[in-house]
Amino acid sequence: MKILIVSDLIDPFIYNYTIKDTFKDVECVLCAGDLPMDYIDFIVSTLNKPTYFIFGNHNLKEYKYYHAYLPKDRQTVCTDFHGHGAVYAGFKVITDRQLKWLNPKKNKSVPLLIAGVSGSKDYNHGLNQYSEFAMSFKLLQMMPKLILNKILYGRYLDIFLTHATPRHVHDHEDRCHQGFKCFNRFLKKYKPAYMVHGHIHLYDLNEPRISVYEKTVVVNAYGHYVIDLPVTDVSQIQVINLKE
């Protein structure tokens, strides 16, 4: 299964009508945050493939329509909102039984399992920013569904879709772009095949897009990239080992 991943940038390679031919073999699209909903709308309507998205720390105009718990001063009565054809995966564990990939360990087709988390590290108390404790609690709330996945499918999940990074994996040292330590613990426990994130702009050609942490391939979706399930050879990918 080929999956198109995008984040943080209105990519001219994507934002044109040739993508229907360029990505004709893609079966699914994952949006890792900081993208205008109209851009996601374009991808959905042009590719006509199942699309999942989460929010980052920017482009939050329509965030309020997906989170009823917001304070009243951040809520708005919706008069013109539409769903854009994409599925919001923020703070959810999703089983897509229509999207199946061939698991070589079981030698059979299995449903795609996605866990999604919106937001970034809290750096100015803005919307969709979280402390380490708050994000840890969000992940804890997802545990029952992940355990159910393990019972039903023999694995917790296939893809962990986030905006922010794990700590010391692709992140930066300024407060805004620091990763979450709880993401590291999440990867160690649930061992998804992929973690797809955004947030870190790849301006520097020496900055890694793909790394391996524990048994998970961590991929920066900045601009666009295509990943495969099952995971292809990762022998040449940088392996990140962190001291506790």
Determine how many CB atoms are found less than 10 A away from the CB of residue 53.
27
pLDDT, tens digit (0-9, with 9 covering 90-100), for 44-96: 999 999 999 999 999 999 998 888 765 554 444 443 444 568 999 999 999 99
pLDDT, position 154: 94
The secondary structure of residue 178, as a DSSP letter, is: P
- Ranges of beta strands (E only) in the chain are 2-7, 26-31, 51-53, 87-88, 92-103, 108-117, 120-121, 129-130, 159-162, 194-197, 210-213, 216-220, 223-228, 238-240
pLDDT at 79: 39
pLDDT tens digit sequence for 164-215: 999 999 999 999 999 999 999 999 999 999 999 999 999 987 899 999 999 9
Q: Model pTM?
A: 0.92
Query: Is 114 buried (19+), middle (13-18) or exposed (0-12) by CB count in 10 A?
Result: buried
Look at the block and give the residue holding tokens 């990939």: 101
CA–CA separation, 44 vs 115, rounded Å? Answer: 20
- The predicted model gives 94-105 an average pLDDT of 92
Give the model confidence (pLDDT) of 13-40 as tens digits.
Answer: 999 989 999 999 999 999 999 999 999 9
Domains and CATH numbers, the chain: 2-240 (3.60.21.10)
What are 122-158's pLDDT values in tens digits? 999 999 999 999 999 999 999 999 999 999 999 999 9
Residue 80 has a pLDDT of 42
Q: What is the pLDDT of residue 85?
A: 85
**What gap in Å lies between CA 169 and CA 188, rounded to an integer?**
13
Across residues 235-244, what is the average pLDDT?
64
Q: How far apart are CA 1 and CA 7, in angstroms?
A: 20
- Rounded to whole angstroms, the Cα distance separating 188 from 166 reads 11
Please choose, from the candidates 207, 164, 163, 191, the residue with its C-alpha nearest in 3D space to the C-alpha of residue 32.
163
